[in-house]
Structure 1
């Protein structure tokens, strides 16, 4: 259902924090023409934490409008409040969305039983497929493989974005869930090996910058050409680290600005632009890859 390279898309903004919809349209076209298999709209890379309810929904609706059915769109609809996540998912479901990405509740540190109740309530509230999202480095709470296995019994919980960066976690989860349960990497550094072990794809930050390479890497792995997948990954491996030398999405936005894919690299407070030395580092990497001159 959701396989291949999905980009965790940034949300372009002006200096006052308002949304730059013209640049958003350009990014959607960029990914369609580059072979990206799907877009995650307003996930954590899309600065979901600082977009209020109405704006969150508007960005997703505009992304759907610009895509015009040419690429799959998954909506970030997670929250640390179950009722808020349900309300957001139900409102987004009125649009032509393909599914939801719902993050483990942050700050609350729910028990595993609490996570099960949270995600089952969300899945019960919508007819659309739901992908779980485990990113303990951001949320503090860590969803265990046994919890994923329990949630996989729900008809509408179809997969997970695993951003633990722990390949042992992948193999453990894989052994506990049905064969058709989708497991996607949310960690670009280990993403290629994740695919080589049998992962179904990636939800990638690096794909913002090199979408063609990420799509080809996932396609190569799916065909069993692991040597090619690893060769592609080696070429772009510097980006996996450099795009995270400041909190995401600071560096991806700067890279896209330098690539002339966005008018600027502004973020919404409390996020601010990168330090000069980090800007220089990502620019040098882009030059080495011949992405910019």
Structure 2
């Protein structure tokens, strides 16, 4: 079924954390966080991702998170809902929920844990596209799913009109391996802040950024500078953000982001098991990284 919406996505989409308080989603804090991101210039919000602790959310909670963020976005930026599961039927159900709630696109990982073969992955996305009308961004994350999509599988997805983008978890190396014409066919996204600049230089379209939760203006400015061809400014921003990017690492812990947001926006740092709060040493490391970002070249964190 062809998508009945057009996805207009800029360079920086924040993989938004989900604030909790006393075990429940804190929708007031979530709305405040989403609105701050938009004021600081990000181009989109991705919700219910692993950074947003999506796997721990119930279907009702997922719907409420999407609803809150769509309302906060107010049409100014797209809201992308992560809807992938390890089963085709539940993925379709969550994607239909996101579509009905006004999400601009669905971010769908290859089924995890069950480790389907290439034919199963292709059939999974074909069934999803046949059942929905929302634009789909396909996530290839072998480290999380233990399934790596081959080029023939990706070629089969390119024949599905509603598949509009690819999220490549291994960043610039994956982008270089793709045929050049796919860079026109797909939005090519990375989820690695550590390689954001090199990813753009190899034909990437933008990033789904965890670090932007904490420094949305600076991460967005890096992408904007690079896209405008101002590589010197982009490199200055990359260097300024390096302490925080390094502390968060490639496999970002939402607890680290939430600790930073407690200092910046007074958001409760609560996580949901199996994630736990940072220990004292890790908290100090995050705080030091924030201080270095604030001080480097006089760039203050803008709240």
- Which secondary structure state, in structure 2, belongs to the residue aligned with residue 175 of structure 1? coil
8 Å contact from structure 1 (residues 104, 135) kept in 2:
yes
Shift of 1:45: 0.9
Judge which range, 153-162 or 133-142, deviates more: 133-142
Q: How many corresponding residue pairs?
A: 289
d(CA) in 2 for partners of 1:195, 1:261: 33
Shift of 1:9: 0.2
1:242 corresponds to 2:244: no
Unaligned runs of 5+ in 1: none
d(CA) in 1 for partners of 2:149, 2:23: 33
d(CA) in 2 for partners of 1:214, 1:245: 15
Aligned counterpart for 1:269 among listed residues 239, 257, 273: 273
8 Å contact from structure 1 (residues 149, 176) kept in 2:
no
Shift of 1:131: 0.2
8 Å contact from structure 1 (residues 98, 128) kept in 2:
yes
Superposed CA offset, 1:148-201 (max 9, x none): 222011100001111124x23211125362613100111111111101222100
d(CA) in 2 for partners of 1:67, 1:169: 31
Normalization by structure 1: what TM-score? 0.93
1:144 corresponds to 2:150: yes
- Which secondary structure state, in structure 2, belongs to the residue aligned with residue 202 of structure 1? strand
d(CA) in 1 for partners of 2:226, 2:203: 8
d(CA) in 1 for partners of 2:215, 2:251: 19
Aligned counterpart for 2:79 among listed residues 73, 76, 100: 73
Aligned counterparts, 1:76-91, within 5 A: 76-91=82-97
Q: 1:226 to 1:149 in 2, by over 3 A?
A: farther
1:185 corresponds to 2:186: no
Q: 1:254 to 1:246 in 2, by over 3 A?
A: farther
Unaligned runs of 5+ in 2: 1-7, 295-300
| Structure 1 segments of 4+ aligned residues over 4 angstroms from their partners | none
Report what 2:10 is aligned to: 3
Shift of 1:128: 1.2
d(CA) in 2 for partners of 1:187, 1:134: 13
Superposed CA offset, 1:226-252 (max 9, x none): 232222111101212212488521211
d(CA) in 2 for partners of 1:56, 1:50: 9
d(CA) in 2 for partners of 1:277, 1:150: 47
1:106 corresponds to 2:115: no
d(CA) in 2 for partners of 1:33, 1:69: 13
- Which secondary structure state, in structure 1, belongs to the residue aligned with residue 208 of structure 2? strand
1:220 corresponds to 2:225: yes
Shift of 1:59: 0.8
Superposed CA offset, 1:105-140 (max 9, x none): 111111111111111211221111000112222222
Shift of 1:2: 2.3
